[in-house]
Amino acid sequence: MQPSNTLNPLPVALKARRTTRRRPRFQPRRSRQTKQPKLDEEDQVFASLPIISDTRVALRVIREDWSEAANQDLPRTPPLVLRSQVTALVANKSEIHRELDAACSEGLRRIVLPGGSDCFITPEDFEARAQHSESPVLQKFFNEVFKQNHLPWLSLSSLQQVYAEHTDDAIDELVRNGYLTSVDEHSYNFCFPGMGMFMKNREAGAKHILSILKRTPYKEMVLTKLQLRTLKDTCFTARWHVRDVVGSGQAECVDTSVGVLVRLVI
């Protein structure tokens, strides 16, 4: 999926045509100023657009792969993208961290999951799944806390600035509804409603994928076949889980003459 960053060399036949006639000796070369093409209004718009990286394309693809079954089984959990899934899709691993940080500075939000892995959520998806959105505490949380904070954590002092004398009551409501989790007495991590059930589905699906690979003779299976398997105890598709286990290093993809194989990492 990683596009080439270098131009292909010219064919030999085309290079031969580029030879030019030599000028007579001592004849001065006239300087020619090349005119820059004038951009019309549409060209100027496209020229001003940011470059779309493979990481951003991967974020969009994985976000759209959030299944309808997940919407039904995890109604309060917003569609999210795991870092491991992005790692599985992007060929240039060295740019993933930098490009994800850039996306977070432009609006994407990162949430740390139990165990140390992390995921990415758009504020729009996060707010759309919120229940009791008419609550003043929750409205302030979305508009003045979550959307304004680029980090996956926040301090007690920042909450005190937003909620003033009602800080304790606001924190209790946010923790009770699954939007904050306490790190210590001075800081909190962002989280999302239904995180426990999400982790249960993720772990069950990954375990099933790995067990399928372990039962094969060479601990490997063609990717197209593995992605069509029906998994137990998870609302996500096999493809969703395959990207997770490959990106987290539990399995790897290998190109062969029969297609891409998913191989268990022993």
Of residues 219 and 50, more confidence is placed in 219
**What are the distances in angstroms from CA 184 to CA 110, 144, 154?**
19, 22, 11
Where do the domains of the chain lie, and which CATH numbers do they carry?
54-190 (no CATH), 195-264 (1.10.10)
Return the closest-CA partner of residue 112 out of 192, 204, 168: 192
Give the whole-number percent of the chain exceeding pLDDT 90.
Answer: 65
Helix-strand-coil split of the chain, %, nearest 5: 45, 15, 40
User: Residue 264's pLDDT is what?
Assistant: 96
Q: What is the model's pTM?
A: 0.78
Residue-wise pLDDT tens digits, 212-228: 999 999 999 999 999 99
Return the closest-CA partner of residue 199 out of 178, 219, 220, 215: 178
Q: How confident is the model at residue 49 (pLDDT cuts 50, 70, 90)?
A: very low
Of 6-15, 63-72, 73-82, 197-206, where does mean pLDDT reach its minimum? 6-15
Mean pLDDT along residues 18-33: 51
* Tokens at 73, concatenated: 């089984």
Residue-wise pLDDT tens digits, 86-107: 999 998 888 999 999 999 998 9
* Tokens at 95, concatenated: 């740019």
**What are the distances in angstroms from CA 13 to CA 6, 7, 10, 18, 113?**
20, 17, 8, 9, 57
